[in-house]
Structure 1
Amino acid sequence: MTPTPVDIPTLLEISPQGGIEGRSRRYEKFLGDMDGVYRDEHAWQDAVGERGTDDLVYWVDDHRYQEGPGALIVGTSTLLPGRYGEEFAVTRGHLHAVADRAELYYCLSGRGVMLLETLDGQTSAIELTPGQAVDVPGHWIHRSVNVGDEPFVTLFCYAADAGQDYGVIAEAGGMKNLVIADGDGWALAPNPDHTGYRAD
């Protein structure tokens, strides 16, 4: 069988500032897309009033060389800094649709936290700076949080058949913990709106 161009090894130029030369896809999230993500709705609305709904807040570049079992997706996530009340800027976060699929995140630049939770109530928060990585096992909901003042850029890799379930967090009233400002650093605070996750 002769390989097609998408099946051959591909050189990817990965920028520490975010982005992949040779990407298959880019998707972007704007401030208007983050409705309901932050607990402090008034702070989010104030930001929309100042910056507009079309203000870019994060983007993802990825490369897929094929679909199906055994294939990998490699990409970068670039989350711009910001605060919404006490909360730091976050991505929407997800659980993989095929829940046992793991994912690796490697910090290229900036300073962030990987906020992690399981459906049965386990929690973890791992700070990442350049050169550090977190290996996220299957069955863990995960969300990137930018706790610095520059873009938080991670390189990620996961199975192409994993998919994403973005609704799981919204259905639970947000994640169990929030990452909030604490002096010059960050801290976890319980989210009083969290109602618990649905069964797997």
Structure 2
Amino acid sequence: MSGVYRDDAAWRAAVAERGADELVYWVDDHRYQEGPGALIVGTSTLLPGRIGDEFAVTRGHLHAVADRAELYHCLSGRGVMLLETLDGQSAAIELTPGKAVNVPGHWIHRSVNVGDEPFVTLFCYAADAGQDYAVISDAGGMQNLVVADGDGWTLTANPDHTGYPRP
């Protein structure tokens, strides 16, 4: 998770306190077949917490085959799906148990845990989609950060965001 959070000093302090091997999120996926039309289904678990003002996040990605969509369905916890496109569109969709979000193709996406319990989602996407994790780090992070706001959350502009490469 190095380089994911804007406040690197807070991230290093958290690692020093918890240890470098503590899992903060994990993915369990299942592949039932290979070839055209195959799907990957699994769960993503993101523990609660904050690094500086930012809520706990996953690394986030754009699909390597960018036109591939992904479905997320919240099983437990409370989170936000942070979405952005290469041309500057953005959205933040709150998820609670029973709610789902379709991440269209060509959208960068990251899960954020804004609650106080594990945020668990069921996901499904095309097996040939792949992930491009570098698109976010190469841009200085996503254009918006999900930060604490009293008892809730809000979006704030990421001053380090340099923009995404145009397709």
TM-score after normalising by structure 2: 0.99
Return structure 1 stretches of 4+ with deviation > 3 angstroms: none
Q: Root-mean-square deviation (CA), in Å? A: 0.6
Equivalent-residue separation in structure 2 for 1:154 and 1:69 (angstroms): 25
1:185 matches 2:152: yes
Give the drift of 1:68. Answer: 2.5
The higher-RCO structure (CA 8 Å, 6+ apart) is 2
1:21 equivalent in structure 2: none
- Please, which runs of 5 or more residues in structure 2 have no aligned partner? none
Residue correspondence of structure 1 range 165-184 to structure 2 within 5 A: 165-184=132-151
Give the drift of 1:49. Answer: 1.2
What percent of counterpart residues are identical?
84
Q: Check the 8 A contact 1:67/1:161 in 2, yes or no.
A: no
Paired residues, what number?
167
The structure with the larger Rg is 1
Equivalent position amino acid for 2:95 in 1? L
TM-score after normalising by structure 1: 0.83
Give the drift of 1:175. Answer: 0.1
- Equivalent residue for 1:51, pick from 18, 26, 46: 18
Equivalent position amino acid for 1:90 in 2? V
Equivalent-residue separation in structure 2 for 1:57 and 1:85 (angstroms): 15
Residue correspondence of structure 1 range 12-161 to structure 2 within 5 A: 34-161=1-128
Equivalent position amino acid for 1:97 in 2? A
- Please, which runs of 5 or more residues in structure 1 have no aligned partner? 1-33
Equivalent position amino acid for 2:49 in 1? G
Give the drift of 1:173. Answer: 0.2
SS at match of 2:72: strand
Give the drift of 1:178. Answer: 0.1
Equivalent-residue separation in structure 2 for 1:115 and 1:128 (angstroms): 11
Equivalent-residue separation in structure 2 for 1:167 and 1:83 (angstroms): 23
Moved more, 59-68 or 133-142: 59-68
